[in-house]
Amino acid sequence: MEPGINDLIARPDACAPPMVDALRARSVAHDLRNVLAIFSAGISLLERSHGPTARSLRIFDGLRDAVSHGNSLVSEILGSPRTAVDRREKIGPCTFLSNLEALIAGALPSGIECELECGGSVWPVEVDPTSLKSTVLNLVVNAAEAMPEGGVIRITAKNTESDESVHHGLSGNFVKLEVRDDGVGIPAELLKHVLEPCFTTKSETGGTGLGLTQVQRFVAESNGHFAVETHEGTGTTMIIYLPAADVAGTTGGCRPAGSTQSF
Ligand X SMILES: Nc1ncnc2c1ncn2[C@@H]1O[C@H](COP(=O)(O)OP(=O)(O)OP(=O)(O)O)[C@@H](O)[C@H]1O
Binding site for Mg ion (CB under 5 A): 142, 211
- How far is residue 88's CA from residue 84's CA, in Å, rounded to a whole number? 6
- Cβ atoms 155, 114 nearer than 8 A: yes
Establish if 226 lies at the interface with ligand X (CB under 6 A).
no
Establish if 201 lies at the interface with ligand X (CB under 6 A).
yes
- How far is residue 262's CA from residue 239's CA, in Å, rounded to a whole number? 9
Which among 69-77, 159-167, 201-209, 241-249 is the span making contact with ligand X, rule CB under 6 A?
201-209
Closest contact distance (angstroms) between CB of 37 and ligand X is 25
Cβ count within 10 A of residue 82 = 11
Using the minimum distance from each CB to Mg ion, give the nearer residue, 18 or 249. Answer: 18
Establish if 199 lies at the interface with ligand X (CB under 6 A).
yes
Element (H, E) at 125: strand 125-127
Q: What is the number of helices (H) and of strands (E) in the chain?
A: 9, 9
Establish if 181 lies at the interface with ligand X (CB under 6 A).
yes
CA dihedral of 208, 212, 214, 217, whole degrees rounded to 10: -140
The residues in 119-148 that bind ligand X, with binding defined as CB under 6 A, are: 138, 142-143, 146
Residue 146 binding result from Mg ion, ligand X, none, given CB thresholds of 5 to 8 Å by partner type: ligand X
Residues in the chain: 263
Establish if 194 lies at the interface with ligand X (CB under 6 A).
yes
- 100 CB-contact burial (10 Å; exposed 0-12 / middle 13-18 / buried 19+): buried
Reduced to 3 states (helix: H, G, I; strand: E, B; else coil), residue 213 is: helix
Closest contact distance (angstroms) between CB of 8 and ligand X is 7
Closest contact distance (angstroms) between CB of 212 and Mg ion is 7
Residue 74 binding result from ligand X, Mg ion, none, given CB thresholds of 5 to 8 Å by partner type: none
Which among 20-28, 55-63, 101-109, 179-187 is the span making contact with ligand X, rule CB under 6 A?
179-187
Establish if 155 lies at the interface with ligand X (CB under 6 A).
no
Please name the amino acid found at residue 208.
Answer: T
* Residue with nearest beta carbon to Mg ion: 211
Contact set with ligand X (CB under 6 A): 138, 142-143, 146, 181, 183-184, 186, 194, 199-202, 207-213, 236
